Structures are given as C-alpha cells and as structure tokens.
Copies of this chain bind each other. A is one copy, B any other.
Amino acid sequence: MSIRAAIVGYGNLGRSVEENIKRQSDFELVGIFSRRAELDTDTPVFPVADIDSYADQVDVLFLCVGSATDIPEQATAFAANFTTVDTYDNHKHIPAHYAAMEEASFAAGNVAIVSTGWDPGLFSLNRTIASSLFPEGQQNTFWGKGVSQGHSDALRRIEGVTRAVQYTIPRDEAIESARSGNGQDITGHNAHLRQCWIVADPADHDRIENEIRTMPDYFVGYEVEVHFISEEEFEANHQGLPHGGHVITSGDLGGTHNAVEFTLNLESNPAFTAAVQVAYGRAAYRLHEAGQAGAFTVLEVPPYLLAPESLEELLARDV
C-alpha cells in the first residue's frame, strides 16, 4: 500500500520534495497545499485554507514552509490534523518547537518528526553517535562549500553590484587539525574561507572589494576572496545551490587516536534536504501505523524505518 503524501509550501524545498516523492515506489502524492491558486506543476493544487478537510486522505504531510515565521506560527495546527515531517532549522528554538509539536500531535494521535534535513538532521545524528564513542572527544562541524544566502544578500546590497554569490568554504588546514585531534582552537572565523563572485562595472571593483573586506560581522575577521567575473560566467557557473560539510569527531581510546568523519558533498542543498525529509516521512508513516504518537527528533527514530526495504531485507543484504 502506498504512503499518501501531501506537501504544504512550494518554494525550493517543496518542489524538491515533489520531485523526490515522484521517484519513490512506496509513496503517492495526493497534492500540494498553497496560498497561491496556480502553481507551475501537474500535481493537484489545493488551497491551504481548506487543508483540514483533507485529513482523511493524507498519511504524511511534508511541511515545506519557512522556518523563520511559518513553522512557529502554523506547524502545530498542521500537527493537530496530520502526521507531519518538517525541516525546522532554528537550532536554538528546536526544544521549544519539539515541545509544541509533541503537545499538538500527541493529543491528536499523530506523529510529528521535527528538524529533519542535514543540519539539523543527519549532522545532529552523527554528532550524537560519534560523541557517544569518546569519553573525552573533540568535535568540529564545518560547513561548505556552500552558498550562504545571508552573505550573498549582503554583497548584493553594495552599490554597483549587479550579481553576487558568496560561498563558505572550510579551510583544509582546519579540517586536518580536526582530524588529527587538534580542533580545540577552531572557530567559525578561522575555519572558513568566504569566497565572493561578483558582477560589477570594472570602474567600481576597487571600491566594492574594499567595502566587502571592511564589512563588519559578515567579512571582517574571515579570510575573504573576491572574484569579479562577467555576467556570462556568472550565469554559467554560479546559479546552483551547492552545500555540504563535515562533522569530525576524534579522541583517545586506550592510548590511540581514533577519528570519525561524516561528510556531505551536495550539488543541491534543497534536493538533498528534501531526500532526508522524504525518508523521515516514511519513518513517520510507519511509527504512526505502529500506534505511536507525538513528536520525534531524528535522534529518536530507529534508523531502519527510513529505508524502503523491510528490516529482514536490510539484515539479509547489509548488516
């Protein structure tokens, strides 16, 4: 029997979840709920205002609305009527979100898996597992190479900048230090390079570069590279949304140095985030089918529930 899925929100993440679900043999996509009446898709589109009347037709609702305001304002209402999976990524407020979703989903007999994706999400899972292995471990997380939306926006606000993107890139020396167990002095500042690709009139290049290098909070204190390129090169090479990173954990065990590393190298941040969200959607469905209710983080979900195969198939193939 297929898992009847629906999506609320149709930005980069919602579109990626739609594309992902269409490739899964154990899901069917009932529709997309949106505030907009028309979306550029052949999936059925329904007004989000009517969503509660679809509760009987949907097994798992993928929350693909924004973390900044939509999730805090809307997620508990969805959880009261649907089993949900979200990618809420405001780390500091996850405990509060988890508590709110627990209350809303448990009372309704629904499951709510919160803060899936990769950070929070798979990186959290790896940080927890790896740090459990070392009585006195050292753990570092590196992000990138990836587009920083906030820094790209800051570049575009500089006068004369017509196109801009900023990649955050972890420094090789910092990664090597972490691997060898010398990561205790690594900070966000000294671990990451900020690489800027800018389209602008050559007459403005010196001033723009100076404004970048002296911009507090965003660039001061970081190693910064500024590259001016043509509109054509920008179009050809800098339109993607790559991301990724490393979680590196190491420590002494019986007088020996041992290191665990989890790495993501992603050409598309939203496509990969969606893939994680869909896998946890499968888990949410199974937990609900097994009679569970309430909120779960990725730390609580038995990992075999993510796989399309049964536990028996996994054990026969893999363990």
Kindly list chain B residues whose C-beta atoms are within 8 Å of the C-beta of A98.
315
Kindly list chain B residues whose C-beta atoms are within 8 Å of the C-beta of A308.
132
Q: Which of A256-285 contact B (CB under 8 A)?
A: 256-268, 270-272, 274-276, 279, 282
A256 CA to B125 CA, complexed, in Å:
24
A311 at the interface (CB under 8 A from B): yes
Closest chain-B Cβ to A231's Cβ sits at a distance in Å of: 23
Kindly list chain B residues whose C-beta atoms are within 8 Å of the C-beta of A315.
94-95, 98, 297, 299
- The oligomer's copy count stands at 2
Q: A306 to B91, Cβ gap below 8 A? A: no
Q: Which of A275-319 contact B (CB under 8 A)?
A: 275-276, 279, 282, 297-304, 306-308, 311-312, 314-316, 318-319
Residue picked from A120, A272, A274, most chain B C-beta under 10 Å: A272
A87 at the interface (CB under 8 A from B): no
A264 CA to B192 CA, complexed, in Å:
23
A262 CA to B19 CA, complexed, in Å:
26
Q: A267 to B256, Cβ gap below 8 A? A: yes
Q: A259 to B264, Cβ gap below 8 A? A: yes
**Given known contacts A263-B263, A265-B179, A307-B128, A275 and B301 CB-to-CB distance under 8 angstroms:** no
**Given known contacts A98-B315, A128-B303, A132-B307, A268 and B279 CB-to-CB distance under 8 angstroms:** no
- Tell me the nearest residue of chain B to A15, going by C-beta: B254
A124 CA to B309 CA, complexed, in Å:
14
Closest chain-B Cβ to A118's Cβ sits at a distance in Å of: 9
Kindly list chain B residues whose C-beta atoms are within 8 Å of the C-beta of A132.
279, 282, 306-308
The 0/1 profile, CB within 8 Å of B marked 1, for residues 118-153 of chain A is 001010111111011111100000000000000000
Q: B258 to A271, Cβ gap below 8 A? A: yes
Kindly list chain B residues whose C-beta atoms are within 8 Å of the C-beta of A240.
256
Chain A residues within 8 Å of chain B by Cβ, number: 68
**Given known contacts A128-B303, A318-B127, A258 and B266 CB-to-CB distance under 8 angstroms:** yes
A128 CA to B297 CA, complexed, in Å:
18
Kindly list chain B residues whose C-beta atoms are within 8 Å of the C-beta of A257.
267
Q: B133 to A129, Cβ gap below 8 A? A: no
Q: B256 to A275, Cβ gap below 8 A? A: no
A20 at the interface (CB under 8 A from B): yes
A16 at the interface (CB under 8 A from B): yes
A-B complex: 4 closest residue pairs judged by Cβ atoms:
A256-B267, A256-B268, A299-B304, A253-B271
A74 at the interface (CB under 8 A from B): no
Q: B260 to A264, Cβ gap below 8 A? A: yes
**Given known contacts A20-B254, A95-B316, A304-B299, A129 and B122 CB-to-CB distance under 8 angstroms:** yes
A115 at the interface (CB under 8 A from B): yes
Residue picked from A19, A134, A303, A311, most chain B C-beta under 10 Å: A303
Q: A274 to B253, Cβ gap below 8 A? A: yes
